[in-house]
Structure 1
């Protein structure tokens, strides 16, 4: 059984939904009680996700310049960053739990994504 079921096209949809969540959830959940950085880091991360998603060589990109495997590497680094943020910035309580949950979700998405099913950057732009 192959656990890598998330195609680049589906990953693109997840990316844009996650970016929206990163921007909206701090308001809904009240993120930032232990540090205002917790609030703003999520919003900035959402904007960054939108930005590099629009540059990734998959179906929902505006200017496909970044290969999908590089996109997955960026996602992995983001997951590590989310896991470390509570320690680096001193987040506590809900703020820390939020970032650890984000980290786990991003690690999961990377783990189930199909890097070998990517289209080339050039062919993605023709689609």
Structure 2
């Protein structure tokens, strides 16, 4: 069942990007490895820029095709699954990435293809 339309995805992008920048500080990430904090903030900044450049309702410059945006989201989801193992994140540091990965991969997998006109 495909539920997430391009418009819904567009409205999710900015809050997700901001949460990736803010939540690491709120949750106190970085106790097992400081990279847990910095990686999320960096990903949030990149996600914000990606959203500004994506060809959807809330894109400002609309340079990147929406399909490219979805590909980047999927890659981020996969990287977030692997990152805690590669960098020995433990506790909340690891769970934060696994939960975010599950959320991102769920949204991407529930993407509703655009209807051709």
* TM-score normalised over the length of structure 2: 0.94
* Structure 1: distance between partners of 2:115 and 2:83: 32
Cα pair 2:73 2:108 within 8 Å, conserved: yes
Q: How does 1:85-124 map to 2 (within 5 A)?
A: 85-117=83-115
2:72 match: secondary structure? helix
Of Structure 1 and Structure 2, which has the larger fraction of its residues in helix?
A: 1
* Structure 2: distance between partners of 1:5 and 1:73: 18
Cα pair 2:10 2:57 within 8 Å, conserved: yes
Query: How many positions carry a matched residue from both structures?
Result: 117
1:9-46 CA deviation, whole Å, 9 max, x = no partner?
A: 11011111111110111011111110100000000000
Which residue in the other structure is 1:75 paired with?
A: 73
Q: How does 1:1-127 map to 2 (within 5 A)?
A: 3-117=1-115
Change in Cα spacing, 1:9 to 1:118, as seen in structure 2 (3 Å) is farther
Cα pair 2:6 2:114 within 8 Å, conserved: no
Instruction: Provide the aligned C-alpha RMSD in A.
Output: 1.5
